[in-house]
Amino acid sequence: MNTIKELRNTTQMSQNRFATYLGIPVVNIQHWEQGVTTPPNYLVALISRVMKNDGYISNDLSSAEIDAIRQTKATLAIEQLKLSEDGISEIGKLVKGDISREEFQQKLKEKYLSHE
């Protein structure tokens, strides 16, 4: 996944609706998500700021922070960890910026250790 798709997923909007929300052509969203083109970092930051202002996320997220979230999700998938509803809720908090990646990883570690 990529930054734009991660941000769009937090809104639970389709590509078409997300494009309308941002006032940009849907083909831009499609190309960014497919990796055909890459949005400039300033645009990702601007989209993040708009989403924060509209209440979709709690903090502005940089491309690096969104990439860290993507990497965390990928790590979980690689390790084939099964998440409970609580775990899925925690990922939602991570994506929205309600908790840091470090806090999420600590909670995940605590859950893992309690099941050993």
Within this chain, do residues 7 and 43 fall inside the same structural domain, yes or no? yes
35 in any annotated domain: yes
Decide if 113 contacts 27 (C-beta within 8 A).
no
Most confident of 9-23, 40-54, 61-75, 78-92: 9-23
Integer CA distances (angstroms), 3 to 20, 79, 93, 109, in order: 18, 22, 16, 25
What pLDDT does 26 receive? Answer: 94
Q: What is the mean pLDDT of the chain?
A: 78
What pLDDT does 1 receive? Answer: 46
Task: Give dist(CA 78, CA 84) in Å, integer.
Answer: 17
- Domain containing 70 equals 63-114
58 in any annotated domain: no
Which parts of 1-116 fold into alpha helices (H)? 3-11, 15-22, 26-34, 41-53, 63-78, 85-96, 101-114
What pLDDT does 28 receive? Answer: 94
45 in any annotated domain: yes
Say whether pLDDT at 17 is over 70.
yes
